[in-house]
Structure 1
């Protein structure tokens, strides 16, 4: 049976006091699900793993259920294949605009069909911010920080928890981790 590398992004984990998960516990949960080579990045619910080739949405559902059953934590989980994450990195149209990778946010869509709901945001004047869409995500340049970002707030109002964000530094680190043999 062929395997595929996938990346799990847990929404809202270890942000503030809610939804606290030790990364060792997350690695164990993923290993118990039969995922191999599980590695986590940072302390914010980012994991790279190998699994039998199947739909990323199925992996997300399995992880969400296991988090509740094993750790008592409810978190929306978005899973991308390594090839999808490579697309996210390659397609970024805002790299030249963003002066600080910590303020360049990548909002990964749980459902790629939600991309259509974000189309109107592309055509709005966000200066000094910027908003762009890729195939699997939205890119938001938050010039004055994410908390002050009108573009990020507008996207959040449209999609709520149907999206999870990571800054560009985290995305590129996850991509590098996913590319390791």
Structure 2
């Protein structure tokens, strides 16, 4: 059985570092035996179908191939359509009423519990807010991610120890659901 997935690459093509041309990424993924490979934007999203592996093994395979081909490590999270759709549908914020730059989802490599953020004084960051979901964190940042003090705090290594985490704005969240549906 073939499943459609999205691969989320963390930190590529940002500020001239870790350059991964999308055409080269598509070719690399096709060389791994994946079908229907398509990329979205330059910031590290690829959709593909595969009849073998699971999310973790596919992520590890792609990360290894990228390191071998481009000479640097990249964190990769792979998620299937059902998961991406469920995350979008479970959004605790009124996505339809917000500008896409105000709403972000951080995808995690493993489940995250509220205890991880227990010491964080959430009221100090209002009106910014976050809520946890299934291996995801929803962030409402009214002024956008670039100006978000809460996003800066949430990205600190001590809060994410042992996790791969990568964030996408709401437009990308929705687009990945659409792209993996076919």
Match of 2:85 in 1: 86
**Structure 1 residue 120 corresponds to structure 2 residue 118:** yes
Match of 1:105 in 2: 104
**Structure 1 residue 165 corresponds to structure 2 residue 176:** no
CA distance in 2, matches of 1:107, 1:17: 22
Match of 1:130 in 2: 129
Aligned residues: 178
Unaligned runs of 5+ in 1: none
Match of 2:62 in 1: 63
Shift of 1:71: 2.1
Shift of 1:145: 2.1
Match of 2:40 in 1: 41
CA RMSD of aligned residues (A): 2.1
**Structure 1 residue 177 corresponds to structure 2 residue 179:** yes
Q: 1:98 to 1:166 in 2, by over 3 A?
A: farther
CA distance in 1, matches of 2:147, 2:71: 32
The TM-score normalised by the length of structure 2 is: 0.89
Shift of 1:53: 4.5
Q: 1:97 to 1:83 in 2, by over 3 A?
A: closer
The TM-score normalised by the length of structure 1 is: 0.89
Higher helix share: 1
Deviations 1:51-72 (A, max 9, x none): 1243201111000000011122
